Structure 1
Amino acid sequence: MRTVAQRDGQRRVLLSTVSSDAHTWNLVFLRLLLEEMGHEVVSLGPCVPDRLLLDSVRRVRPDLLVVSTVNGHGRIDGVRMIRRLRADPVARHTPAVIGGKLGVAGEEEGTAAARALVEAGFDAVFTDTADTALIGRILGELPQRAPEGRAV
């Protein structure tokens, strides 16, 4: 176990997919993007079961949870996952965003899916055509934490 002191402006981001999504290139891209922005990234990889995600949020205590979905089941898996997260007394206040392909029926379904995901508890939802710079802005708007040692 290593201890990391938070640097000025750096955030700890927990990166994951929904449980049914085996895609990895999206995670590689997001990890590189977030690290290039100066943030620490803990990636759980693809096909992350809800329980593992919740346990990881409780252990890592990220500043932001980023969930990527490419397979079109983001709406279904994302709603279930965020409800579990928001029901947990430790993890419930963790800012969480989801993005990618939220459904399989096109843009109209994507809009409805985005609404459902926000209503279920996500702080922001990105469609598969969203500008990746929005993630950086969200991270920049999070409250600054005092420097502390954290276990990873």
Structure 2
Amino acid sequence: KIAAMSSADPNQAAKAAQEIMATYESMKSEVRQYMFKIQELDADRNEHSLVVNTIKDLDPKRRCFRLIGGVLVERTIEEVLPAVRKNLEGIHAMIQKLTEVLKKKQEELDAYQEKYDIKPARQLDQRVKAAEERERKGAPSAKSGGVLA
């Protein structure tokens, strides 16, 4: 698609290519942000699970402390445990929702990448390494056209 534009006006094709890459980078960044948020929530979920598993078998009247909005508050286990469990369920639900959104965003990114034939640098590096490996093993490379000298 860009090649067809390049024959008409090289500047226009360059601008189109820049816009495509800018959109691609933006989409990629959005996917990374979702991944980071899911990882962050997963760490919170693990912490909440650890707290629930630690205090669930203790005496419900026992004192415990909970950090609420940066303030350490004294409560009893019977007051804290339901709240922590509710938070844990909320975190789990949020992770599921974000995972669904992440899958959709990743599919959109993959479709965009395929539509404009965008090759991530990692894929290009892998192809170069594979070609170098073939050369070391004596297999003909794409450059030599299969002719051995």
**TM-score, normalised on structure 2?**
0.19
**TM-score, normalised on structure 1?**
0.19
* Higher RCO (C-alpha 8 Å, min separation 6): 1
Greater strand content: 1
Greater helix content: 2
**Greater C-alpha Rg:** 2
